Chain A
Amino acid sequence: MEFFDFDETYFRRLQSRDPLTEDHFVSYFSDLLHIKLRSRLNSSPAIEDVKQETFVRVLAALRTESGIRSPERLGAFVNSVCNNVLMEHYRSSARTKQPDENAPDPPDKTIDLDGFLVTKQTCDQVRQVLDQLPEKDRRLLRALFLEEKEKDQICHELKVDRGYLRVLVHRAKQSFRALYEKSERSASRRPIPEGC
C-alpha cells in the first residue's frame, strides 16, 4: 500500500473514474475505515455494509458539481461521510429493534481487528521483534495483548509503571514497523486464513 498526501492529479483521476486510482483509493481507505468501524460495530457484515456505502457516496460526491473540491480534504471528507453512514446505520438498527447486534462498543474497549491485517509475513516480523525482547517484556506484551488484563493490574503484577509499558509497546511497534514497511515496499500482502 502506497501512502501519500492526495493532490490535484489524484483527485482528477478519481473524478474521471480511472480504475487504478479507484482501486488505490478503496484499498487505502478500506483498512483505515475497518480500524475505525471495528470499535463501533460488532459484526463484520455491518462493517462491510458501512464501508461500501461510504465508498459509494464519496465517489458519487466527487463527480457532482457541488461535491468536494479540495484534494487535501479528501481524508476528512471520507471520515465525515463514514460518520453519517454510521449514524444512519445506528438509527436503522434501532428502528428494526436490533440494537445489540450493531451497538457501538464501550469507548474504552481495546479494538479487536479480528486479525484482518495478520499475514504470515507480519507474524514472522513480530517473532523477530519478540525474540529480541527480554522475557519480562514478552510477559508484559502477552498480558496486554493476549490475556487482555487491565493495564494497572499488569503493571502491578510485573512491577513496572505505566510509562514503562507505553515505551515498551511503542518501541516494539516501531521495530515492527521498520520491518513491516520494508516488506510492504518490496512485496504485496499475502493474507492467510488461519493464524500464522
Chain B
Amino acid sequence: MNAAEQYLLGELSEELRADFEEHFMSCAECARDIRAAAAFMESTRAVLREEDLATVRATGKPKIERSWWATLFRPMIAAPVMAVLIAVLAYQSFVALPRLKSSLSEATAPRTLAAFSLINADSRGGAATLFTVAKDQPFALYVDVPPQPTFPIYTLAVETSGGAPQFTVAATADQAKNTLQILVPASRLKEGQYALVVRGSSGPNDTQETEVASFPFAIQYSPSTAHQN
C-alpha cells in the first residue's frame, strides 16, 4: 500500500500525515494518486452499498459477512435460544429443584417403614401372600433363603407373574444365613402379582444360576392412598 492509501485509511502518524499533505499539494503525480485513491475508495463504498441495497430489495436480507460466533448472536437465533434457556431455568427453579428438595427431605427424614414377611410363605410357588401397602411409600420384605443347596452368591429378584424382572439384589452366603431384609423403593411395584425368586450361583462370573426358591406375593394399595397422584 503506498502513501495515498495509507493516508486515506488513517494509517499514518500525525507527523507523516502533515508531511504527506504538504507533499501532495506540491507534487502533481501524488496529487493525481491521492485523488484517484479517494475516488476509488469512495466509489467502492458506493458500489458495495448499492449491492447491499439490491440484495435487501431482492431477498429482504442484508448481505453482511459475519463470523460464526457473531451469527450466534443474530436475533433470529439468539432470541429462541434465550427463550429456551429461560424456560429451562424456570422449570429448574420452580419445578425440578423444589421436587428434588422435597424428595431429599423425605428420604432423609426419620419415619416408620411398613414391613412384610415372606418367611412363612410358600417357597414353591403356591398361593400368593397379599400385602396391602401405601401408594408411593417404600416398604420392606423379609425373607429367609433355604439352607440347601448352598451357593456362595445369591440373587433375589422380584418378578411379575409373567416373569418380567422388576429389580434384583445380591447377597453372599454369609448374609443368606440370616433373614434378609429387602427395601422396596416407593412406586417401584404397582398393584399386581409378583414373585420373589431366589437363585444361587457359584461366583460372579457364573452365568448359570439355579433357582432355589420362589415366594409369590401380591400388592394392593391401601384404600386411603389408592387415589393419590
Contact = CB atoms under 8 A, between A and B. Distances in A.
Contacts of A129: 40
B44 A79 contact: no
Interface string B5-45: 10111110110010001101111110111111111111111
B52 interface: yes
B2 interface: yes
B46 A32 contact: no
A145 B22 contact: no
B104 interface: no
Contact of B42 (A75, A108, A118): A118
Contacts of A170: 1-2, 5
A79 B31 CA distance: 13
Interface residues of A, number: 60
B85 interface: no
Contacts of A143: 65
Contacts of A127: 47
A105 B22 CA distance: 19
A29 B25 contact: yes
Contacts of B27: 5, 75
The secondary structure that dominates the A interface is: helix
B49 A195 contact: yes
A5 to B, nearest CB: 5
A72 interface: yes
The secondary structure that dominates the B interface is: helix
A75 B44 contact: no
A176 interface: yes
Given A78-B25, A157-B67, A195-B49, A123 B43 contact: yes
B43 A196 contact: yes
B35 A173 contact: no
Interface residues of B, number: 44
A176 B34 contact: no
Interface stretch (A18-26, A59-67, A91-99, A109-117): A109-117
B76 interface: no
Given A117-B35, A180-B39, A181-B32, A79 B46 contact: no
B33 A115 contact: no
A142 B65 contact: yes
Nearest to A162: B1
A134 B151 CA distance: 80
Which of A146, A157, A172, A196 is most buried by chain B, counting CB atoms within 10 A of its CB? A146
Given A117-B39, A123-B47, A76 B34 contact: no
A119 B42 CA distance: 10
B38 A117 contact: yes
B164 interface: no
A102 interface: no
B26 A39 contact: no
18 contacts: A5-B27, A72-B26, A75-B25, A76-B22, A79-B25, A80-B22, A107-B13, A110-B10, A123-B47, A142-B48, A167-B1, A170-B5, A172-B44, A173-B41, A177-B33, A180-B36, A181-B36, A195-B46
Given A166-B1, A172-B40, A180-B40, 18 more contacts: A3-B32, A5-B28, A36-B25, A79-B25, A107-B13, A115-B42, A115-B45, A126-B43, A142-B65, A146-B48, A147-B64, A147-B65, A167-B1, A169-B1, A169-B9, A177-B33, A177-B36, A196-B50
Interface of B: 1-2, 4-5, 7-11, 13-14, 17, 21-22, 24-29, 31-50, 52, 64-65, 67
5 nearest A-B residue pairs (beta carbon) = A75-B26, A166-B1, A75-B25, A122-B43, A177-B36
